Structure 1
């Protein structure tokens, strides 16, 4: 399905006469066109296909779109052809833009919980620097919801029951409001126990969306949307990789049995080093901070379209606020809201308030298609969290962030002949990033032997557990930092109709991911925060999209080459106040080349076969970082490590290693069979397997950090009653119960060799889905 439109017969709908492949209409280029006529790498998956595949959260997209790796649970991490972002903090920027109904979602926590009542999902691969701009260096994921329908009473309801005590429901109701307006109310809720042994990776979410559309005449259309999502429960968890002998691969690291194994490894490390490594009492493998998740997101937007005659005016104002309180355990705790003392005091977590406004003019004539636009984006963030790894690291960290971004853009496609077209586009973006009100406190007990804070605030001087001790906070505003990044991105392309149903295209595109600031003090001056610069990518793509055999065979292919520079990577280290931090810097450049092929065929009545394969060869050309020598005991890093300098720093050279989350081969194979039972009833059989080659998950490149190849097998059978009014489906996913490690966990523990953690996909799940449509 890579490189073209993913076409699938909607379960329960009767095949077209002559059983032809249906066209999928997309709006990825800010105009409506079929995926087969869109001259870029795009995969579009329809809403009914998503339901049949059980796609209810972003991580599930990996199973339906080859070349895309999604993990991280609550803090969604999306990698497309090896391009993504490992960071999960407020300072991090995604490399893949996520949009809901044309509105950018800046925080990964706010994206989860929105995949319900969906018209389609569009995945654009490669930099999209013209029409989408900042943070689209690797691609774009567009979610398009079902819109209110005029003059129609309709709706649906689906109830799902599955193992791990799953109970869920989803539905929508469409109500006409006279002849020129309509309302659509959509909702979703789900409850499921965690599939990890410590209770994590549960599913506790609820969401509601209200949309009102009015079209008083043929020239004007206005849609308003209000939505709310809540993610609760235990939340995301991680597991040791490889699995501990004798334990299930789905054993969470806060399981006491797993924690005991970790403590044994720490003790062995201490003994083997002759007592020179970190003493075991400084490690807090289990912690008394419980895993939990409490993420709330509110959103409002409007979408206006008005036909001016010479062009269509589109205006999209939007607002979103996200509050996140949660707790991770990567063998250190990352707490956004867990109590840190006996009095119940706790961090405030992360808050993000974003506003945006996009204004476009666009038109199509016989010879030219064009769009001009402007974009404004502002985000105010606060982050207040605790990092805890026992007495050696127990800090409270606070900071405010502000982003102001403005862009102007334009793109046009001109028909030189009836068969040959050229495209050009440019975008200018000005990004201003601010970081201020930075504070860091040690939470007693903590060893601050090298920190410049007053030592009488820490043990053994009698401070009570939970006491906050300032670490190098001279005066308010001392670390306030600001930087503006100006970028020009764009695209040039050509396309040629080889035949009426065959399109050849090629393009060169440039994109960037925004820079910003770390929540850490500059090493030398100690009077500002450590910045990181934007990363940049230039892509070269050539592809072909074909239909054959009277629209019964679709065959698409693509070749691509990416030049990736100033790549942002995160690694542990010390900052200017000698605190242990995860520092993001521009540490690498990479070359990515590959190919994709996808096929859809309808060789017999009611039957659809889908097959796709993607090859990605991504290598770090230059990947060198420096870390404190005591962070790099022998055997912890798989890359060459230099001898320590007199300052106790080592150089790590990972040049030549493959990109993270980038399996060299991935693909999917599926079949759907529709059977008419001649009495108005029907059966739909569906089976799919998504597979991927081995891939590196984390940038230490220790052998334990490479996930094995896998095949994820899913199947379902759906019985549809007459007129598709009712249906019942039996479904199963990961039927072979394969352990599929997805990354998104912690780095190897900074002081312990041989201990690595990762997120993991669900084990075998199965259940029944009951539904009605009206």
Structure 2
């Protein structure tokens, strides 16, 4: 995981940013959010833990990865397990099994993959803002929002104004070659006051920093990211707004495994094609360690304002193609092609008046389908392969065979609502509820597996239904304009996970048959929080103390197998309790100077022994750091009468180690690490130039170390070494 510290604004629960007036007195510039789906509201007036950061602040700090933008939020941990995607956890709610534990929204589009917890590491260029909602969001955002929700909101087009901006950057990484990026956004008015468009283009190319010494390939884990986005805004009247958007992303990446010397030395066996016996080994090449993906997103949003209510409809389609190839297990080629298609529809209405009672209510529908295969390849020696190819010229080396082919579907619907009642000038109560139903089907398409499962009575096609009623109650107290106190009690929910047919086939008759579907999870969170400002708004403080109870956790378990050693499956085992504190301080009392500190202290632990997962009572939940913090300082000053400003930014981020567990092997633990980033430059009205430095301390620690990889000698993911460069931006 490449973890950068390029944030100055209100990241760590900092509820606002500040701007300078002509008298050099600093005044509060409120950031508004739409997290409650009932119009815009100041973050300071939102009675639960939410961070908002403007897109322009992300650009000022050079952020080109959502992982980097998210990682500095208190209680948020981003783990890069593959080349092009991440898993996100908030407040210790982390799991590598089943659906994601954090809702991930692109505008109002829930990015969902059936049974997959990975989300794309998008380039956040030209965003309106990013919102991070901490704690369960089961009422408004539904299943898989147990730990919280991330909302990535893109810029809307603007009528009657042509605008163009661009950003170019060149950098070099210690021990590697050059990296570059080119990004641009253009706003195009088409019909006065009625129709406009916005187009965003970006291309990022990062050189690798890990060598394959056995093949002589250097810096093999290079990556490319290309993104194209277009948005059309149509407002034929004051009451009606129509938005159409499309987003295309292509990523090419390699698996970032490496030891402390930034080297990776995997090998694979070679077999005699006639006897089937191993006759040697060969080194793995870079072409066999790739993780490429492509996704398209389409959305239509309609808003209509009546006299006292607003109507909101959003329809979206997401299509994902992933090509994952690995050859590091010491058993031969392994391919994992995946296709995902998700259709979402949400329809809601909300009150728009200034009455004591305000409310929102809605309907949600989702239809998602995933097709996934597992293809293995056996490498033959040249003589055997030549003989076999003589009989069948279509053969390739390695000889490929489909081990598993499956189709998973989910059809969901939900009805939800929240009501806010102003009891008095200072007190407000919020009540919310959501009823959710989910029908899931798992179908095995590989003929051998399907026939076997039908023969033993399991069935090649299996289905299960899940339903849940979740709620939220919130009580807030606002005694004056400088303080807000709240109590928030909320429930989270995650559907159960289907057992894959290949695992069911291998465990049949072993006496340890897993359930066809693991059941759903439940989580409830209790939170006390305060948002305060002091010294005429020069100091902003926010703190949130939370406790959560998590039951029936979806966990990857293992059982012994006479041929394969062990077989993994998913089941509900154990429970966990979490206790934590989010804290942020933002000081802006000196003209031009911003100081910020954000931190999270978290203790989320398993509540019982889980021998089949190698987990003991009191162990920290997998992949959860016990503490994280970010400290930053930014200073902006005038360069005489030149019309130019100088700008300096420095940030240090620390993340504690993360544990992981698997049966039969000692638990693993990633390194705790601290990363230092610095930017210094000159800004004018229409351009800016910066010198940049990332990971200046050249931290080389293990970002993630997965216990299930230990048997194969697979090293951990490594953070990118020290990287320095220059960057220029233009606005027209």
| 1: CA distance, partners of 2:556 / 2:330 | 16
Contact 2:635 2:647 in 1 (8 A): yes
How far is the alpha carbon of 1:749 from its aligned partner?
A: 3.5
Q: Please give the per-residue CA displacement for 1:268-292, whole angstroms capped at 9, x wherever unaligned.
A: xxxxxxxxxxx99999984897112
Residue 585 of structure 1 and its aligned partner are, at CA, apart by 1.6
| 2:38 is the alignment partner of 1:27 | no
- What SS does the aligned partner of 2:499 have? strand
1:694 to 639, 657, 662: 657
- The residue number in structure 1 matching 2:723 is 765
1:632-643 map, 5 Å: none
Change (3 A) 1:336 1:329: closer
Within 5 Å, which residues of 2 pair with 1:642-661?
Answer: 652-661=614-623
* Cα displacement (A) at 1:103: 0.7
Query: SS of the residue aligned with 2:552?
Result: strand
Q: Distance in 2 between matches of 1:283 and 1:529?
A: 39
Q: 1:284 to 1:374 in 2, by over 3 A?
A: farther
For the pair 1:217 / 2:206, whether they are aligned, the reply is no
Secondary structure in 1 matching 2:624: coil
1:460 aligns with none
* 1:653 Cα deviation after fit: 4.6
Q: CA deviation at 1:695?
A: 2.6
Deviations 1:71-102 (A, max 9, x none): 22423111112212324xxxx31111100111
From 399, 423, 436, the equivalent of 1:429 is 436
Deviations 1:699-721 (A, max 9, x none): 56966722232211111012112
Correspondence for 1:417? 424
- Give distance in 2, aligned partners of 1:618 and 1:529: 27
1:512 aligned residue: 493
Displacement, 1:434?
0.4
Cα distance between partner residues in 2 of 1:160 and 1:351: 33
Q: 1:253 to 1:45 in 2, by over 3 A?
A: farther
Residue 538 (structure 1) aligned with residue 524 (structure 2): yes
1:152 Cα deviation from its structure 2 partner: 1.0
Aligned counterpart for 1:598 among listed residues 567, 574, 584: 584
* Correspondence 1:376 to 2:396: no
1:560, 1:377 → 2: CA distance? 31
Match of 1:679 in 2: 642
Aligned 8 A contact 1:61 1:68 in 2:
no
1:101 corresponds in structure 2 to: 107
Cα separation, 2, equivalents of 1:2 and 1:701: 40
Unaligned runs of 5+ in 2: 1-9, 213-218, 270-276, 381-399
Q: In 2 relative to 1, CA 701–494 (structure 1 residues): closer, same or farther, beyond 3 Å?
A: farther
* Rounded Cα–Cα distance in structure 2 between residues aligned with 1:289 and 1:169: 26
**CA distance change for structure 1 residues 542 and 423 in 2, over 3 Å: closer, same or farther?**
same
Match for residue 203 of structure 2?
189
Question: Equivalents in 2 of 1:576, 1:702: separation in Å?
Answer: 18
Check conservation: 2:12, 2:74, Cα contact below 8 A: no
Aligned partners of 1:480, 1:147: CA distance in 2, in Å?
A: 44
CA contact (8 A) 1:70 1:742 kept: no
Conserved? CA contact 2:612–2:663, under 8 Å: no
Structure 1 residues 104 and 374: CA distance shift in structure 2, 3 A: same
* Equivalent in 564, 577, 597 of residue 550 of structure 2: 564
2:391 alignment counterpart: none
Change over 3 Å in CA distance of 1:487–1:167 after alignment to 2: same
CA distance 1:330–1:106, change in 2 (3 Å): farther
Give distance in 1, aligned partners of 2:71 and 2:473: 32
Residues 135 and 525, structure 2, Cα contact 8 Å, conserved in 1 = yes
Look up the match of 1:734: 695
C-alpha separation between the residues in 1 aligned to 2:326 and 2:42? Answer: 42
Contact kept? 2:31, 2:52, Cα under 8 Å:
yes
Instruction: Name the structure 1 match of 2:153.
Output: 144
Q: What do residues 538-581 of structure 1 show as CA deviations (whole Å, max 9, x unaligned)? A: 00000000111221110111100010111112244468997954
Work out the CA distance in 2 between the residues paired with 1:582 and 1:283. Answer: 27
Residue pairs, 1:363-512, within 5 angstroms:
363-364=351-352, 365-386=354-375, 396-439=403-446, 478-512=459-493
**How much has 1:3 moved relative to structure 2?**
6.8
Q: Is the 8 A contact 1:40 1:505 kept in 2?
A: yes
Deviation at 1:510, TM superposition (A): 0.4
Partner of 1:356: 344
User: In 2 relative to 1, CA 701–564 (structure 1 residues): closer, same or farther, beyond 3 Å?
Assistant: farther
Equivalent residue, structure 2, for 1:290 = 288
Is the CA contact 1:415–1:422 (under 8 Å) kept in the aligned structure 2? yes
Contact 2:615 2:661 in 1 (8 A): no
Cα 1:389–1:675 change in 2 (3 A) is farther
Match of 1:122 in 2: 131
Counterparts in 2 of 1:578 and 1:166: CA distance versus 1, 3 Å: closer
Q: Do the aligned partners of 1:428 and 1:487 also contact (CA within 8 Å) in 2?
A: yes
Cα shift readout 1:120-166 (whole Å, capped 9, x = no counterpart)? 11111111100000111111111011111111111210011111321
The answer as to whether partners of 1:9 and 1:15 remain within 8 angstroms in 2 is no
Is 2:582–2:600's contact at 8 Å kept on the other side of the alignment?
yes
Output the CA distance in 2 between the equivalents of 1:16 and 1:589: 56
- Over 3 Å counting, the alpha-carbon distance change for 1:574 and 1:358 in structure 2 is farther
Alpha-carbon RMSD across the aligned residues, in angstroms, is: 3.3
What whole-Å deviation, never above 9, does each CA across 1:613-669 have from its counterpart, x for those lacking one? 211011100241437xxxxxxxxxxxxxxxxxxxxxxxx452211112222221110
User: Relative to structure 2, which stretch is displaced further, 132-141 or 52-61?
Assistant: 52-61
In the alignment, the residues of structure 1 paired with residue 515 and residue 718 of structure 2 have an alpha-carbon distance, to the nearest angstrom, of 34
**Structure 1 residue 613 and structure 2 residue 594: aligned?**
no
TM-score, normalization by structure 2: 0.85
1:237 and 1:328 in contact (8 A); partners too? no
**Deviation for aligned residue 1:63:** 4.0
CA distance in 2, matches of 1:102, 1:534: 25
Shift of 1:730: 1.0
Cα distance in structure 2, aligned partners of 1:68 and 1:387? 36
Name the count of aligned residue pairs.
Answer: 674
User: What is the rounded CA distance, in whole Å, between the counterparts of 2:664 and 2:695 in structure 1?
Assistant: 27
Q: CA deviation at 1:611?
A: 0.6
Aligned counterparts of 1:757 and 1:9: Cα–Cα separation in 2:
44
Q: CA deviation at 1:220?
A: 1.1
